[in-house]
Structure 1
Amino acid sequence: MEMTMKLLRTRLQSRLALHKQFASLEHGVVPVSSECQHLFPTKIVSRLVRWAAIPFEDYAELPYTKDVVEAGLAEDTHLYYMALIERGTAKLQVAVVLNPGYSALPPIFSLCLNWKGERTGSNDDNIRAMESEVNVCYKELWGPKPGYQLLTNQLQRLCMVLDVYLETEPHDTTVEGPKEFPQEKMCLRLVRGPMRLKPFKFNYPQGFFSHR
Protein backbone atom coordinates (compact mmCIF):
# COMPACT_ATOMS: atom_id res chain seq x y z
CA MET A 1 0.00 0.00 0.00
CA GLU A 2 2.81 2.38 0.92
CA MET A 3 4.55 1.70 -2.41
CA THR A 4 1.29 2.34 -4.31
CA MET A 5 0.78 5.69 -2.56
CA LYS A 6 4.38 6.67 -3.28
CA LEU A 7 3.95 5.86 -6.99
CA LEU A 8 0.68 7.82 -7.15
CA ARG A 9 2.30 10.83 -5.45
CA THR A 10 5.25 10.70 -7.87
CA ARG A 11 2.93 10.52 -10.87
CA LEU A 12 0.83 13.42 -9.60
CA GLN A 13 3.92 15.58 -9.03
CA SER A 14 5.18 14.66 -12.51
CA ARG A 15 1.84 15.59 -14.09
CA LEU A 16 1.76 18.95 -12.28
CA ALA A 17 5.31 19.72 -13.46
CA LEU A 18 4.33 18.81 -17.02
CA HIS A 19 1.26 21.07 -16.99
CA LYS A 20 3.48 24.00 -15.94
CA GLN A 21 5.77 23.24 -18.88
CA PHE A 22 2.83 22.89 -21.28
CA ALA A 23 1.58 26.37 -20.30
CA SER A 24 4.94 27.85 -21.36
CA LEU A 25 5.26 25.71 -24.50
CA GLU A 26 1.81 26.74 -25.72
CA HIS A 27 3.09 30.34 -25.71
CA GLY A 28 6.22 29.41 -27.67
CA VAL A 29 8.51 29.58 -24.63
CA VAL A 30 10.88 26.70 -23.83
CA PRO A 31 11.73 27.15 -20.13
CA VAL A 32 15.31 26.28 -19.19
CA SER A 33 16.25 26.46 -15.52
CA SER A 34 19.51 28.00 -14.31
CA GLU A 35 20.75 24.50 -13.36
CA CYS A 36 20.45 23.43 -17.02
CA GLN A 37 21.83 26.51 -18.80
CA HIS A 38 25.21 24.80 -19.27
CA LEU A 39 23.61 22.19 -21.54
CA PHE A 40 23.11 24.76 -24.30
CA PRO A 41 25.01 27.57 -26.05
CA THR A 42 24.14 31.16 -25.18
CA LYS A 43 22.58 31.83 -28.58
CA ILE A 44 19.99 29.54 -30.18
CA VAL A 45 18.19 30.99 -33.21
CA SER A 46 15.68 28.21 -33.98
CA ARG A 47 12.52 28.65 -31.94
CA LEU A 48 9.39 26.79 -30.93
CA VAL A 49 6.34 28.30 -32.64
CA ARG A 50 3.66 25.70 -31.89
CA TRP A 51 2.88 23.06 -29.25
CA ALA A 52 -0.46 21.24 -29.26
CA ALA A 53 -1.99 17.96 -28.08
CA ILE A 54 -3.13 15.53 -30.77
CA PRO A 55 -5.10 12.25 -30.64
CA PHE A 56 -3.32 8.91 -30.97
CA GLU A 57 -4.97 8.32 -34.37
CA ASP A 58 -3.37 11.46 -35.82
CA TYR A 59 0.02 10.52 -34.37
CA ALA A 60 -0.16 6.98 -35.79
CA GLU A 61 -1.01 8.28 -39.28
CA LEU A 62 2.21 10.28 -39.57
CA PRO A 63 4.63 8.44 -41.88
CA TYR A 64 7.66 9.29 -39.72
CA THR A 65 6.19 7.81 -36.49
CA LYS A 66 5.75 4.36 -38.03
CA ASP A 67 8.81 2.82 -36.32
CA VAL A 68 7.69 4.04 -32.87
CA VAL A 69 4.17 2.65 -33.34
CA GLU A 70 5.40 -0.69 -34.70
CA ALA A 71 7.84 -1.05 -31.77
CA GLY A 72 4.89 -0.85 -29.37
CA LEU A 73 6.14 2.41 -27.82
CA ALA A 74 2.91 4.31 -28.54
CA GLU A 75 -0.22 3.17 -26.70
CA ASP A 76 -3.71 4.58 -26.05
CA THR A 77 -2.76 5.46 -22.46
CA HIS A 78 0.06 7.75 -23.61
CA LEU A 79 -0.14 11.48 -24.38
CA TYR A 80 0.62 12.81 -27.88
CA TYR A 81 1.80 16.23 -29.00
CA MET A 82 2.91 18.03 -32.14
CA ALA A 83 5.50 20.78 -32.01
CA LEU A 84 6.79 23.05 -34.75
CA ILE A 85 10.29 24.53 -34.58
CA GLU A 86 11.26 27.12 -37.18
CA ARG A 87 14.28 28.99 -38.41
CA GLY A 88 13.90 31.04 -41.56
CA THR A 89 12.39 28.88 -44.30
CA ALA A 90 13.14 25.64 -42.42
CA LYS A 91 10.29 24.04 -40.50
CA LEU A 92 10.90 21.08 -38.19
CA GLN A 93 7.78 19.07 -37.34
CA VAL A 94 8.16 17.20 -34.06
CA ALA A 95 5.84 14.36 -33.01
CA VAL A 96 6.10 13.54 -29.31
CA VAL A 97 4.79 10.56 -27.34
CA LEU A 98 4.73 10.99 -23.55
CA ASN A 99 4.61 7.89 -21.39
CA PRO A 100 2.48 8.13 -18.18
CA GLY A 101 5.68 7.09 -16.35
CA TYR A 102 7.42 10.40 -17.23
CA SER A 103 10.16 11.33 -16.32
CA ALA A 104 11.53 7.89 -15.42
CA LEU A 105 10.43 6.89 -18.92
CA PRO A 106 11.53 9.57 -21.41
CA PRO A 107 9.37 11.15 -24.15
CA ILE A 108 10.06 9.85 -27.66
CA PHE A 109 10.56 12.31 -30.53
CA SER A 110 10.06 11.71 -34.26
CA LEU A 111 11.21 14.41 -36.69
CA CYS A 112 10.35 15.67 -40.16
CA LEU A 113 12.25 18.67 -41.57
CA ASN A 114 10.60 20.60 -44.37
CA TRP A 115 13.39 22.49 -46.12
CA LYS A 116 14.33 21.93 -49.74
CA GLY A 117 12.17 18.82 -49.64
CA GLU A 118 10.96 16.59 -46.83
CA ARG A 119 13.69 15.08 -44.67
CA THR A 120 13.10 12.33 -42.09
CA GLY A 121 15.16 9.65 -40.38
CA SER A 122 14.40 7.30 -43.29
CA ASN A 123 16.05 9.48 -45.96
CA ASP A 124 18.51 11.67 -44.01
CA ASP A 125 21.16 10.25 -41.64
CA ASN A 126 21.49 13.58 -39.85
CA ILE A 127 17.78 13.74 -39.02
CA ARG A 128 18.18 10.28 -37.51
CA ALA A 129 21.19 11.59 -35.56
CA MET A 130 19.06 14.51 -34.28
CA GLU A 131 16.43 12.04 -33.07
CA SER A 132 19.21 10.11 -31.32
CA GLU A 133 20.34 13.29 -29.54
CA VAL A 134 17.02 13.46 -27.65
CA ASN A 135 15.84 9.83 -27.64
CA VAL A 136 19.12 8.02 -26.89
CA CYS A 137 21.18 10.68 -25.07
CA TYR A 138 18.24 11.81 -22.90
CA LYS A 139 20.09 11.04 -19.63
CA GLU A 140 22.27 14.10 -20.29
CA LEU A 141 19.09 16.21 -20.21
CA TRP A 142 17.41 15.06 -17.01
CA GLY A 143 18.61 18.06 -15.02
CA PRO A 144 18.09 18.13 -11.24
CA LYS A 145 16.38 15.07 -9.76
CA PRO A 146 13.70 13.81 -10.26
CA GLY A 147 14.20 15.00 -13.84
CA TYR A 148 10.90 16.78 -14.47
CA GLN A 149 12.69 19.27 -16.78
CA LEU A 150 13.56 16.52 -19.28
CA LEU A 151 10.84 17.40 -21.83
CA THR A 152 11.73 21.08 -22.14
CA ASN A 153 15.46 20.29 -22.18
CA GLN A 154 14.85 17.85 -25.05
CA LEU A 155 12.95 20.53 -26.98
CA GLN A 156 15.72 23.07 -26.37
CA ARG A 157 18.27 20.54 -27.60
CA LEU A 158 16.21 20.10 -30.78
CA CYS A 159 16.32 23.87 -31.34
CA MET A 160 20.08 23.72 -30.81
CA VAL A 161 20.76 20.81 -33.19
CA LEU A 162 18.48 22.32 -35.86
CA ASP A 163 20.75 25.38 -35.76
CA VAL A 164 23.79 23.13 -36.26
CA TYR A 165 22.08 21.17 -39.04
CA LEU A 166 21.22 24.32 -41.02
CA GLU A 167 24.45 26.24 -40.37
CA THR A 168 26.63 23.34 -41.54
CA GLU A 169 24.76 22.81 -44.81
CA PRO A 170 26.84 23.68 -47.90
CA HIS A 171 25.92 26.99 -49.53
CA ASP A 172 24.12 26.74 -52.88
CA THR A 173 26.35 28.79 -55.19
CA THR A 174 23.59 29.04 -57.82
CA VAL A 175 21.58 31.25 -55.46
CA GLU A 176 22.57 34.91 -55.33
CA GLY A 177 22.89 36.80 -52.08
CA PRO A 178 24.11 35.86 -48.60
CA LYS A 179 23.78 32.39 -47.14
CA GLU A 180 20.40 31.98 -45.38
CA PHE A 181 21.94 30.29 -42.34
CA PRO A 182 25.41 31.76 -41.66
CA GLN A 183 27.57 29.61 -39.41
CA GLU A 184 27.47 31.02 -35.88
CA LYS A 185 28.26 27.83 -33.95
CA MET A 186 31.91 26.88 -33.49
CA CYS A 187 32.47 23.35 -34.87
CA LEU A 188 35.69 21.32 -34.83
CA ARG A 189 34.64 19.55 -38.06
CA LEU A 190 31.58 20.24 -40.19
CA VAL A 191 31.01 16.62 -41.26
CA ARG A 192 32.50 13.20 -40.55
CA GLY A 193 32.57 9.85 -42.30
CA PRO A 194 30.78 8.54 -45.40
CA MET A 195 27.40 9.40 -43.82
CA ARG A 196 28.48 13.07 -43.60
CA LEU A 197 27.31 13.31 -39.99
CA LYS A 198 27.20 16.76 -38.41
CA PRO A 199 28.70 17.78 -35.01
CA PHE A 200 25.66 17.83 -32.72
CA LYS A 201 27.41 17.43 -29.34
CA PHE A 202 27.76 20.68 -27.39
CA ASN A 203 30.91 20.89 -25.26
CA TYR A 204 30.66 23.04 -22.15
CA PRO A 205 32.39 25.25 -21.05
CA GLN A 206 34.55 25.45 -24.20
CA GLY A 207 31.45 26.30 -26.24
CA PHE A 208 32.21 24.28 -29.37
CA PHE A 209 30.38 21.46 -31.14
CA SER A 210 31.90 18.08 -31.93
CA HIS A 211 30.91 14.62 -33.11
CA ARG A 212 29.97 11.87 -30.67
Structure 2
Amino acid sequence: MYSEVELYSSLSARYKLVRCYNCCTRIEDIHQIIEEAGYPYHWVQRVAGLEFLYVPNDVYPHVTPKVNNFTSSSHMDQTIKAIRSRLSARLSLYKLLLSLEQLNVPVLPEISALYPHKVIAKLKEWSKIPWSDIKEKEDCMELLELGVISEEWMSFRTVVERGSATLWALVLVPPNYPERASLFLLSLDWKQLRTSRTDKALQELEHEINMSVVNFIPQKVRYNLLACQLHHLLVGFDVYLETDPDATEGPKEFSQGKIFLRIARGRDRRRPYKYVAKLGLFTHR
Protein backbone atom coordinates (compact mmCIF):
# COMPACT_ATOMS: atom_id res chain seq x y z
CA MET A 1 0.00 0.00 0.00
CA TYR A 2 1.35 3.40 -0.98
CA SER A 3 0.84 6.73 0.74
CA GLU A 4 -0.37 9.78 -1.18
CA VAL A 5 3.19 11.15 -1.29
CA GLU A 6 4.56 7.92 -2.74
CA LEU A 7 1.73 7.74 -5.25
CA TYR A 8 2.23 11.31 -6.43
CA SER A 9 5.98 10.69 -6.73
CA SER A 10 5.27 7.66 -8.87
CA LEU A 11 2.88 9.65 -11.07
CA SER A 12 5.49 12.38 -11.45
CA ALA A 13 8.01 9.83 -12.69
CA ARG A 14 5.46 8.43 -15.13
CA TYR A 15 4.75 11.95 -16.42
CA LYS A 16 8.45 12.36 -17.24
CA LEU A 17 8.22 9.15 -19.22
CA VAL A 18 5.17 10.46 -21.10
CA ARG A 19 7.07 13.63 -22.05
CA CYS A 20 10.00 11.57 -23.28
CA TYR A 21 7.73 9.52 -25.51
CA ASN A 22 5.89 12.54 -26.89
CA CYS A 23 9.06 14.48 -27.63
CA CYS A 24 10.90 11.65 -29.38
CA THR A 25 10.00 10.22 -32.75
CA ARG A 26 12.32 7.30 -32.11
CA ILE A 27 13.75 5.89 -28.90
CA GLU A 28 17.30 4.76 -29.50
CA ASP A 29 17.98 3.35 -26.02
CA ILE A 30 14.97 2.83 -23.79
CA HIS A 31 17.16 1.77 -20.86
CA GLN A 32 18.25 5.40 -20.39
CA ILE A 33 14.61 6.41 -19.99
CA ILE A 34 13.95 3.53 -17.59
CA GLU A 35 16.75 4.74 -15.33
CA GLU A 36 15.21 8.23 -15.20
CA ALA A 37 11.46 7.59 -15.16
CA GLY A 38 10.76 3.86 -14.80
CA TYR A 39 9.36 1.14 -17.00
CA PRO A 40 6.93 1.98 -19.87
CA TYR A 41 3.77 0.49 -18.41
CA HIS A 42 0.94 -0.07 -20.85
CA TRP A 43 -1.34 2.57 -19.30
CA VAL A 44 1.49 5.14 -19.54
CA GLN A 45 1.92 4.36 -23.22
CA ARG A 46 -1.76 4.97 -23.84
CA VAL A 47 -1.74 8.28 -21.98
CA ALA A 48 1.18 9.29 -24.20
CA GLY A 49 -0.77 8.24 -27.29
CA LEU A 50 1.41 5.21 -28.02
CA GLU A 51 0.36 1.68 -28.90
CA PHE A 52 3.32 -0.66 -29.12
CA LEU A 53 5.06 -3.35 -27.13
CA TYR A 54 8.64 -2.72 -26.10
CA VAL A 55 11.18 -5.03 -27.74
CA PRO A 56 14.99 -4.74 -27.75
CA ASN A 57 16.42 -2.77 -30.66
CA ASP A 58 18.79 -5.58 -31.57
CA VAL A 59 15.80 -7.88 -32.16
CA TYR A 60 13.45 -5.46 -33.98
CA PRO A 61 15.56 -2.47 -35.05
CA HIS A 62 12.83 -1.23 -37.42
CA VAL A 63 10.22 -0.69 -34.64
CA THR A 64 9.42 3.01 -34.27
CA PRO A 65 6.85 4.27 -31.72
CA LYS A 66 4.16 6.44 -33.26
CA VAL A 67 2.13 9.05 -31.42
CA ASN A 68 -1.64 9.07 -31.90
CA ASN A 69 -3.43 11.90 -30.09
CA PHE A 70 -6.76 10.09 -30.38
CA THR A 71 -5.37 7.16 -28.38
CA SER A 72 -4.23 9.52 -25.63
CA SER A 73 -7.54 11.40 -25.35
CA SER A 74 -9.62 8.22 -25.42
CA HIS A 75 -7.78 6.73 -22.43
CA MET A 76 -7.01 9.83 -20.35
CA ASP A 77 -10.51 9.90 -18.86
CA GLN A 78 -10.20 6.31 -17.64
CA THR A 79 -6.76 7.01 -16.21
CA ILE A 80 -7.94 10.04 -14.22
CA LYS A 81 -10.93 8.08 -12.88
CA ALA A 82 -8.64 5.23 -11.80
CA ILE A 83 -6.31 7.64 -9.96
CA ARG A 84 -9.22 9.37 -8.23
CA SER A 85 -10.73 6.03 -7.23
CA ARG A 86 -7.41 4.86 -5.78
CA LEU A 87 -6.91 8.04 -3.75
CA SER A 88 -10.52 7.97 -2.54
CA ALA A 89 -10.11 4.37 -1.39
CA ARG A 90 -6.92 5.27 0.51
CA LEU A 91 -8.59 8.23 2.20
CA SER A 92 -11.53 6.06 3.30
CA LEU A 93 -9.15 3.42 4.63
CA TYR A 94 -7.10 5.94 6.64
CA LYS A 95 -10.27 7.38 8.19
CA LEU A 96 -11.41 3.88 9.11
CA LEU A 97 -8.05 3.02 10.69
CA LEU A 98 -8.22 6.16 12.83
CA SER A 99 -11.68 5.12 13.97
CA LEU A 100 -10.53 1.58 14.77
CA GLU A 101 -7.67 2.93 16.88
CA GLN A 102 -10.40 4.48 19.03
CA LEU A 103 -12.06 1.00 19.17
CA ASN A 104 -15.01 2.23 17.16
CA VAL A 105 -16.31 0.09 14.28
CA PRO A 106 -18.38 2.40 12.05
CA VAL A 107 -21.45 0.61 10.69
CA LEU A 108 -23.34 2.17 7.79
CA PRO A 109 -27.17 1.98 7.72
CA GLU A 110 -27.02 -0.29 4.65
CA ILE A 111 -24.99 -2.79 6.69
CA SER A 112 -26.71 -2.47 10.08
CA ALA A 113 -30.00 -3.45 8.41
CA LEU A 114 -28.48 -6.83 7.55
CA TYR A 115 -27.65 -7.73 11.17
CA PRO A 116 -29.42 -7.95 14.54
CA HIS A 117 -29.39 -4.78 16.64
CA LYS A 118 -27.99 -6.51 19.72
CA VAL A 119 -24.27 -7.31 19.46
CA ILE A 120 -22.60 -8.30 22.74
CA ALA A 121 -19.01 -9.00 21.64
CA LYS A 122 -16.78 -5.92 21.83
CA LEU A 123 -13.65 -4.75 20.06
CA LYS A 124 -10.99 -4.39 22.75
CA GLU A 125 -7.81 -3.75 20.78
CA TRP A 126 -6.70 -2.64 17.34
CA SER A 127 -3.03 -2.08 16.67
CA LYS A 128 -0.61 -2.11 13.77
CA ILE A 129 2.15 -4.70 13.92
CA PRO A 130 5.34 -4.90 11.85
CA TRP A 131 5.64 -7.50 9.14
CA SER A 132 8.73 -8.97 10.84
CA ASP A 133 6.53 -10.06 13.77
CA ILE A 134 4.20 -12.18 11.67
CA LYS A 135 6.12 -13.50 8.67
CA GLU A 136 7.49 -16.41 10.73
CA LYS A 137 4.01 -17.55 11.79
CA GLU A 138 3.04 -20.89 10.29
CA ASP A 139 -0.16 -19.63 8.65
CA CYS A 140 1.59 -16.62 7.13
CA MET A 141 4.50 -18.69 5.85
CA GLU A 142 2.11 -20.97 3.97
CA LEU A 143 0.25 -18.01 2.46
CA LEU A 144 3.55 -16.43 1.42
CA GLU A 145 4.68 -19.64 -0.25
CA LEU A 146 1.38 -19.87 -2.13
CA GLY A 147 1.64 -16.23 -3.24
CA VAL A 148 -1.62 -15.26 -1.53
CA ILE A 149 0.01 -12.45 0.48
CA SER A 150 3.24 -10.46 0.25
CA GLU A 151 5.23 -8.01 2.35
CA GLU A 152 3.34 -5.14 0.68
CA TRP A 153 0.27 -6.00 2.76
CA MET A 154 -0.43 -3.99 5.91
CA SER A 155 -0.73 -6.06 9.09
CA PHE A 156 -2.84 -5.41 12.20
CA ARG A 157 -3.88 -7.25 15.31
CA THR A 158 -7.34 -7.00 16.81
CA VAL A 159 -8.80 -8.47 19.98
CA VAL A 160 -12.50 -9.21 20.50
CA GLU A 161 -13.88 -10.16 23.91
CA ARG A 162 -17.08 -11.48 25.39
CA GLY A 163 -17.03 -12.66 28.97
CA SER A 164 -14.12 -15.02 29.56
CA ALA A 165 -13.63 -15.68 25.83
CA THR A 166 -10.94 -13.77 23.91
CA LEU A 167 -10.69 -13.89 20.14
CA TRP A 168 -7.49 -12.77 18.42
CA ALA A 169 -7.44 -11.88 14.75
CA LEU A 170 -4.47 -11.15 12.54
CA VAL A 171 -5.78 -8.76 9.87
CA LEU A 172 -3.89 -8.41 6.58
CA VAL A 173 -4.93 -5.54 4.29
CA PRO A 174 -3.92 -5.90 0.61
CA PRO A 175 -2.36 -3.06 -1.43
CA ASN A 176 -5.38 -2.94 -3.78
CA TYR A 177 -7.98 -2.73 -1.00
CA PRO A 178 -10.99 -2.59 -1.35
CA GLU A 179 -10.87 -4.31 -4.74
CA ARG A 180 -9.59 -7.26 -2.77
CA ALA A 181 -10.86 -8.06 0.71
CA SER A 182 -8.70 -8.07 3.83
CA LEU A 183 -7.64 -11.44 5.21
CA PHE A 184 -8.45 -12.52 8.78
CA LEU A 185 -6.57 -15.31 10.62
CA LEU A 186 -8.34 -16.29 13.86
CA SER A 187 -7.39 -17.89 17.17
CA LEU A 188 -9.49 -18.22 20.33
CA ASP A 189 -8.61 -18.45 24.03
CA TRP A 190 -11.60 -19.92 25.84
CA LYS A 191 -11.17 -22.92 28.17
CA GLN A 192 -8.40 -23.95 25.79
CA LEU A 193 -6.42 -22.41 22.96
CA ARG A 194 -8.12 -22.93 19.61
CA THR A 195 -7.13 -22.02 16.08
CA SER A 196 -8.80 -22.41 12.72
CA ARG A 197 -6.47 -25.39 12.16
CA THR A 198 -7.77 -27.28 15.18
CA ASP A 199 -11.34 -26.03 15.51
CA LYS A 200 -13.80 -26.64 12.67
CA ALA A 201 -16.30 -24.03 13.88
CA LEU A 202 -13.58 -21.38 14.12
CA GLN A 203 -12.44 -22.30 10.62
CA GLU A 204 -16.03 -21.83 9.46
CA LEU A 205 -16.17 -18.39 11.12
CA GLU A 206 -12.88 -17.47 9.43
CA HIS A 207 -14.40 -18.43 6.07
CA GLU A 208 -17.43 -16.26 6.86
CA ILE A 209 -15.24 -13.21 7.41
CA ASN A 210 -12.89 -13.76 4.47
CA MET A 211 -15.37 -14.98 1.85
CA SER A 212 -19.09 -14.90 2.65
CA VAL A 213 -19.37 -11.31 3.85
CA VAL A 214 -17.73 -10.06 0.65
CA ASN A 215 -20.47 -11.62 -1.48
CA PHE A 216 -23.54 -10.10 0.15
CA ILE A 217 -22.60 -6.53 1.08
CA PRO A 218 -23.93 -3.85 -1.33
CA GLN A 219 -21.44 -2.71 -3.96
CA LYS A 220 -22.02 0.97 -3.10
CA VAL A 221 -20.52 0.47 0.39
CA ARG A 222 -17.57 -1.60 -0.83
CA TYR A 223 -15.20 1.20 0.24
CA ASN A 224 -16.15 0.30 3.83
CA LEU A 225 -15.41 -3.40 3.36
CA LEU A 226 -13.00 -3.76 6.29
CA ALA A 227 -15.54 -2.31 8.73
CA CYS A 228 -18.17 -4.70 7.33
CA GLN A 229 -15.84 -7.64 7.94
CA LEU A 230 -15.15 -6.51 11.52
CA HIS A 231 -18.85 -6.10 12.30
CA HIS A 232 -19.51 -9.54 10.82
CA LEU A 233 -16.76 -10.87 13.08
CA LEU A 234 -18.41 -9.41 16.20
CA VAL A 235 -21.80 -10.90 15.29
CA GLY A 236 -20.23 -14.22 14.29
CA PHE A 237 -18.34 -14.44 17.58
CA ASP A 238 -21.64 -14.09 19.45
CA VAL A 239 -23.08 -16.93 17.36
CA TYR A 240 -20.00 -19.08 17.96
CA LEU A 241 -20.24 -18.76 21.74
CA GLU A 242 -24.01 -19.09 22.02
CA THR A 243 -24.07 -22.27 19.91
CA ASP A 244 -20.91 -23.92 21.26
CA PRO A 245 -21.58 -27.27 23.02
CA ASP A 246 -19.03 -26.36 25.73
CA ALA A 247 -21.18 -23.36 26.67
CA THR A 248 -23.89 -25.71 28.00
CA GLU A 249 -21.58 -27.50 30.44
CA GLY A 250 -21.67 -26.23 34.02
CA PRO A 251 -22.88 -22.68 34.69
CA LYS A 252 -24.09 -21.11 31.46
CA GLU A 253 -21.93 -18.05 30.83
CA PHE A 254 -23.28 -17.05 27.41
CA SER A 255 -27.04 -16.73 27.35
CA GLN A 256 -28.75 -17.26 24.02
CA GLY A 257 -29.76 -13.76 22.96
CA LYS A 258 -30.40 -14.67 19.33
CA ILE A 259 -32.87 -16.91 17.55
CA PHE A 260 -31.46 -19.93 15.72
CA LEU A 261 -33.39 -22.11 13.34
CA ARG A 262 -31.02 -24.95 14.23
CA ILE A 263 -28.01 -24.90 16.55
CA ALA A 264 -25.92 -27.21 14.37
CA ARG A 265 -26.23 -29.13 11.12
CA GLY A 266 -24.45 -32.07 9.55
CA ARG A 267 -21.72 -34.36 10.78
CA ASP A 268 -19.27 -31.49 11.15
CA ARG A 269 -21.83 -29.62 13.33
CA ARG A 270 -21.84 -26.46 11.22
CA ARG A 271 -22.96 -23.24 12.94
CA PRO A 272 -25.80 -20.95 11.78
CA TYR A 273 -23.80 -17.86 10.78
CA LYS A 274 -26.27 -16.62 8.14
CA TYR A 275 -28.70 -13.95 9.40
CA VAL A 276 -32.12 -13.62 7.79
CA ALA A 277 -33.07 -10.01 8.54
CA LYS A 278 -36.73 -10.36 7.47
CA LEU A 279 -37.31 -13.20 9.95
CA GLY A 280 -34.86 -12.01 12.60
CA LEU A 281 -33.13 -15.36 12.97
CA PHE A 282 -29.89 -17.16 12.13
CA THR A 283 -29.67 -20.18 9.86
CA HIS A 284 -27.07 -22.14 7.88
CA ARG A 285 -25.72 -21.26 4.46
What TM-score results when the alignment is normalised by the length of structure 1?
Answer: 0.91
Partners of 2:162 and 2:89 lie apart in 1 by 31
What residue number does 1:12 align with? 87
Could you list the per-position Cα deviations for residues 68-111 of structure 1 after superposition, in whole angstroms to 9, with x for gaps in the alignment? 33322221211111111111111111111111111111111110
1:27-176 pair list within 5 angstroms: 27-140=102-215, 142-145=217-220, 147-170=222-245, 171-173=247-249, 175=250
Could you list the per-position Cα deviations for residues 90-144 of structure 1 after superposition, in whole angstroms to 9, with x for gaps in the alignment? 1111111111111111111110011111111111111111111111113345435
TM-fit CA distance, 1:65: 3.6
Comparing 47-56 and 58-67, the one that deviates more: 58-67
Partners of 1:181 and 1:45 lie apart in 2 by 10
Gaps of 5+ in 1: none
What residue number does 1:199 align with? 272
Partners of 1:184 and 1:172 lie apart in 2 by 14
Q: Does 1:186 align with 2:259?
A: yes
What TM-score results when the alignment is normalised by the length of structure 2?
Answer: 0.69
The 8 Å contact of residues 275 and 283 in structure 2, kept in 1 or not, is answered as: yes
Could you list the per-position Cα deviations for residues 18-52 of structure 1 after superposition, in whole angstroms to 9, with x for gaps in the alignment? 11111111111110011211221110100111111
- Measured on the aligned residues, the alpha-carbon RMSD in Å equals 1.7
The 8 Å contact of residues 213 and 232 in structure 2, kept in 1 or not, is answered as: no
Could you list the per-position Cα deviations for residues 166-185 of structure 1 after superposition, in whole angstroms to 9, with x for gaps in the alignment? 01123454x3xx41101111
Give me the identity figure in percent.
37
Higher helix proportion, which one?
2
Task: Compare relative contact order (CA 8 Å, sep 6+) and give the higher one, 1 or 2.
Answer: 1
What residue number does 2:39 align with? none
Higher strand proportion, which one?
1
What residue number does 1:208 align with? 281
The 8 Å contact of residues 141 and 154 in structure 1, kept in 2 or not, is answered as: no
The 8 Å contact of residues 105 and 230 in structure 2, kept in 1 or not, is answered as: yes
The 8 Å contact of residues 141 and 150 in structure 1, kept in 2 or not, is answered as: no
Partners of 1:90 and 1:28 lie apart in 2 by 18
Partners of 1:90 and 1:63 lie apart in 2 by 23
Give the secondary-structure state (helix, strand or coil) at the position aligned to 1:95.
Answer: strand
Gaps of 5+ in 2: 1-46, 48-75
Specify the structure having the higher radius of gyration (Cα). Answer: 2
Change (3 A) 1:64 1:33: same
Partners of 1:146 and 1:185 lie apart in 2 by 26
* Amino acid corresponding to residue 184 of structure 1 in structure 2: G
Change (3 A) 1:146 1:4: farther
Change (3 A) 1:61 1:139: same
TM-fit CA distance, 1:146: 5.8
The 8 Å contact of residues 142 and 148 in structure 1, kept in 2 or not, is answered as: no
Partners of 2:130 and 2:179 lie apart in 1 by 23
Partners of 2:94 and 2:273 lie apart in 1 by 29
